[in-house]
Amino acid sequence: MEQKLWSISELADECGVTTRTIRFYEDKGLLQPQRVGANRVYNYQDKARLILILRGKRLGFSLEDIGEFLALYHAECDPAHASQLRYLLDKVQAKVKVLRQQQEDLAQTLQELTRIETECLSHLPDSEMPT
């Protein structure tokens, strides 16, 4: 059975990114497409890696974290991928902790700004109230 291959522009279109983005991930060593002449060709594994990279970026992970995760996935001899899962769990728990702190900080900032807004509005004459 022949494996489906994508050109860089086809892969970019399917994944909703630019070809420049894909080349950037190649430059960082996260993708290593095959070459047919001067053209890059991508297989299902490359597409899956790109989807994981994009997901990791969307979740706020660094390219270094993503690279380590991908390396563990491909180097792991354990079929259960225990090392990969422990690594991912550690990174996810750290990211959740940071986001929870940011959420608390944001809630506190919103509360303070709302208080200041209310105070300002209470000191403005009715004729100068914003609409």
Please state the pTM of the whole predicted model. Answer: 0.75
Q: pLDDT band at residue 76, thresholds of 50, 70 and 90?
A: low
Residue 34 C-alpha from the chain's centroid = 24
- Write the DSSP symbol of residue 2: P
Nearest-angstrom CA–CA distance, 99 and 6: 36
User: Is residue 77's pLDDT more than 70?
Assistant: no
- Residue 44: the pLDDT is 94
- Residue 28: the pLDDT is 96
Ramachandran sector of residue 15 (left: φ over 0; alpha: ψ -120 to 50; beta: rest): alpha
Taking the CA atoms of 112, 117, 119 and 120 in sequence, report the sign of the dihedral they define. positive
- Residue 99: the pLDDT is 95
**Sequential DSSP letters for 30-89:** S---EEETTEEEB-HHHHHHHHHHHHHHHTT--HHHHHHHHHHHHH---TT-HHHHHHHH
CATH architecture assigned to 1-60: Orthogonal Bundle (1.10)
**Domain residue ranges of the chain, discontinuous segments joined by +:** 1-60, 76-123
